[in-house]
Amino acid sequence: MTWLRRPRLLRMLGIAAVLAVAAGGAFVLVGRGAAERNATVAAVQPAAIPSVPQGPVGVGALGRVEPASRIRRLAQPGGLAVTRIAALHVEEGDRVAAGQLLAEFADAAQKDAAVAQAEAALAEARAQLAKIRAGGRPSEIAAQRARIESLAAAEEIARRDAARTERLVPSGAGAEAVAERNRFAARRAAAERAEAEAQLETLLRPRPEDVALAEAQVASAEAALARARADAELSRVYAPVAGTVLRIHARPGDQVGADGLLELADLSQLDVVADVYETDLPRVRIGARAEVVVPGEARRFGATVREIGWIVRRTVQAGTDPVAAVDARTVEVRLALDAEAAAALARRSNMQVQVAIRP
């Protein structure tokens, strides 16, 4: 039995020896490969990479195209009860001059009638003042002087009659009653002459109080006319600046709503309003050049920083970018587009663009 078990034991010992030799060889191979790889990496990789000094860094931001004059949204004047459009004198795309009439409201005719009435009242007051200042006409003055001469003659006759009757009373040839009537007649003639002379003085030189009253009436009429004209102006919409009509929100017969009547802007000079992060603001300066990338355009447009905002705004609206800053604080920086860019982007107000401000 012992002899029979010996071959089996020898076979097991031989297998164990073979496995030990194979494991040792694999360890030697793995160690040699790792050493060779380490030597290769050491030979390829330099000992030290020198640091390169970085220059000034530019600023990138999102922006929008906007006219330099800003987009003016015109609405009905405040405080009006009538907001229905009666006439519209422009269309979208029309170029208008500053002060040009754009639209009229339904109460414009009523306000114009009030202006005409105020103008007539002012003309009447001014005529009255001129009449008082000028005094009487030459014919009136001549007639008044002739009346004074007539009254003076009548006064002289009455005074003589009174004197004769006074001399006859002591002798009994005249009655006392007749003498008294003649005295009263002489006094009345003197009073009428004095009154006529006072009227002539008024015709020649008007009284200061009459002139002051007439001047006050003229001033009141002028104020009433100014108010009527102001009310009439509120029934019309004029262009505040020269520019182009971008959009019309209300047509004749419509009520002007919250969107206003129309939008107007001067497209001769365009800006890009960039929202620059407050941390990048120290690297932005007036006069710095920038490049504007417009979606759909292969070329890049040039621009120049011309204005830096005064207020840091807080952005709280999240966009579609999951890694975008939701609570970002930005400052509006306005960049003036070059002439070529202004001509190419004239019809793209409020379009979003990308801005790269050079250091």
Q: What is the 3-state secondary structure (H, E, C) of the chain?
A: CHHHHHHHHHHHHHHHHHHHHHHHHHHHHHHHHHHHHHHHHHHHCCCCCCCCCCCCCCEEEEEEEEECCCCEEECCCCCCCCCEEEEECCCCCCEECCCCEEEEECCHHHHHHHHHHHHHHHHHHHHHHHHHHHCCCHHHHHHHHHHHHHHHHHHHHHHHHHHHHHHHCCCCCCCHHHHHHHHHHHHHHHHHHHHHHHHHHHHHCCCHHHHHHHHHHHHHHHHHHHHHHHHHHCCEEECCCCEEEEEECCCCCCECCCCCCEEEECCCCEEEEEEEEHHHHHHCCCCCEEEEECCCCCCEEEEEEEEEEEEEEEECCCCCCCCCCCCEEEEEEEEEECHHHHHHCCCCCCCEEEEEECC
95-96 and 328-337 as β-strands: parallel, antiparallel, unpaired? unpaired
Which pLDDT value is given to residue 48?
46
Which pLDDT value is given to residue 167?
72
More confident of the two residues 138 and 21: 138
Contact 210, 132 (CB under 8 A): yes
pLDDT digits (tens, 9 = 90+) for 230-262: 999 989 999 999 999 999 999 999 988 888 899
pLDDT digits (tens, 9 = 90+) for 137-182: 777 778 878 888 888 888 888 888 777 777 776 665 557 677 777 7
- pLDDT of residue 13 exceeding 90, the answer is no
Instruction: State mean pLDDT over 2-15.
Output: 43
Place of tokens 């005064």: 310
State pTM to two decimals.
0.59
pLDDT digits (tens, 9 = 90+) for 259-295: 889 999 999 899 999 999 999 999 999 999 999 999 9
pLDDT digits (tens, 9 = 90+) for 73-92: 998 876 556 678 999 999 99
Which pLDDT value is given to residue 103?
94
For residue 10, what pLDDT band results from cuts at 50, 70 and 90? very low
- pLDDT of residue 115 exceeding 50, the answer is yes
Which pLDDT value is given to residue 266?
92
Which pLDDT value is given to residue 31?
38
For residue 30, what pLDDT band results from cuts at 50, 70 and 90? very low
For residue 4, what pLDDT band results from cuts at 50, 70 and 90? very low
- pLDDT of residue 69 exceeding 70, the answer is yes
- pLDDT of residue 68 exceeding 80, the answer is yes
Which pLDDT value is given to residue 75?
86
pLDDT digits (tens, 9 = 90+) for 213-227: 999 999 999 999 999
